[in-house]
Structure 1
């Protein structure tokens, strides 16, 4: 098998294409979540809470030249994004909840085999 054919088989397998689509959709969804956190959650909830705590510019906090405020800001951002994602996934799971399927009756083959078994049992 030639190198071109091997590459074609690899590149166009369902798994590789599915993964590429998932990465692209994930990147787009990441932008949506980031915008939601930056443009909605932060101004409505986080900024008032930081003002009340007296830490309006958390990213500018330093101690002996160590800018630990940037780290705290990143950690806080992570927790807010994780919370938003949790709520979104929980809502999606609630919408996509699988419906319970009633068990199907026996197939024709199963009915026939049951009849044969019963006839043999009665002999």
Structure 2
């Protein structure tokens, strides 16, 4: 069983997956910061600071008029937090677009690298065996 486990871990795809998960975790922090710190403020400029996060509907419980979503939850009210969901969807779309652009760029770089390898001039093929034998035959006949 231990040797099977070693074989499983030693496979390339398991190691690739582990590296992908680690890179993905680090990349998530970068993309989340980009969305929260760079893109959302720019969107806020165009929408007049529109933020849906604190929009909710009280399903049950007493909540003061105009209270934030956090305050409504702390008061123990059951709330339908539709604004937080809308902002999560918007953030997802932004993150998905950023990841798409990154993958697109990486694929272009990878394709360019493979193209350069393919375009490398190959050595001119020399004569094959039949050509050499024909030359030898002709040289022997000429003597």
Q: Same fold (TM over 0.5)?
A: yes
- Within 1, Cα distance between the matches of 2:4 and 2:109? 42
User: 2: distance between equivalents of 1:64 and 1:118?
Assistant: 94
Matches within 5 A, 1:44-59: 45-51=42-48, 56-59=50-53
Give the one of 98, 101, 106 matched to 2:119: 101
Number of positions where the alignment pairs a residue of Structure 1 with one of Structure 2: 111
CA distance in 2 between partners of 1:40 and 1:106 (Å) = 54
More helix as a share of residues: 1
Report the CA distance between 1:91 and its aligned residue. 3.3
Q: Unaligned regions of 5+ residues in structure 2, if any? A: 60-79, 136-143
The change in CA–CA distance for 1:101 and 1:117 in structure 2 (over 3 A counts) is farther
Question: Equivalent residue for 1:61?
Answer: 55
Using the size of structure 1 for normalisation, the TM-score is 0.70
Greater RCO structure (CA 8 Å; 6+ sep): 2
- Deviation (angstroms), 1:69: 1.1
| Cα displacement (A) at 1:113 | 4.1
TM-score, normalising length: structure 2: 0.62
> Given the alignment, which residue of 32, 35, 38 partners 1:34?
32
Q: What's the RMSD between the two structures over aligned residues? A: 2.7
Which structure has the greater CA radius of gyration?
2
Bigger fraction of residues in strand: 2
